[in-house]
Amino acid sequence: MCAGPVRRAKVFGLCVPTTGIEPYHRLVDLVMGQEPYRSARRVFWIADNGSSPRGEVSKQRLAKWHGNAIQVHTPVHASWLNQMEIYFSVVQRKVLTPSEFQDLQTLEKTLLDFPAYYETIARPLEGKFTRADLD
């Protein structure tokens, strides 16, 4: 499970045995406990519609955890809009395929070490889709 600012190639991640509200809370605390997020006036959390960050209740829960955090959901079936889903596809190609790991600890260490490397190679996407293309 991971989170990251859209404008930078910074990734915050946790390896957890299961998803749920508690691991999501740990991830939120990991990010929101650091500057500039801790003191920002507003921090928008773009979340998918997975089980942990789903619905109006999750928006209220996030605001209760951190008063400056505002949760926004991507449309259902639009994971391509979620920057972390794009990051997961990079992890799949560069870390998990076709690698074999001796044990879960090695896999976890590799996954948690990858963001530091990713921050050095990531480049902004050069979108070529224009408003005219939309018309």
The residue extents of the domains of the chain are 20-89
Q: Is the pLDDT of residue 2 over 80?
A: yes
75-102 per-position pLDDT tens digit: 877 766 677 888 888 899 999 987 889 9
Q: Is the pLDDT of residue 40 over 90?
A: yes
**What confidence score (pLDDT) does residue 92 get?**
93
Give me the mean pLDDT over the 64-81 stretch.
Answer: 84
Long-range CB pairs of 80-89 (<8 Å, 24+ gap) are 81/46, 82/46, 82/48, 83/4, 83/6, 83/46, 84/2, 84/3, 84/4, 85/48, 87/2, 87/4, 87/11, 87/118, 88/2
Give me the mean pLDDT over the 26-37 stretch.
Answer: 95
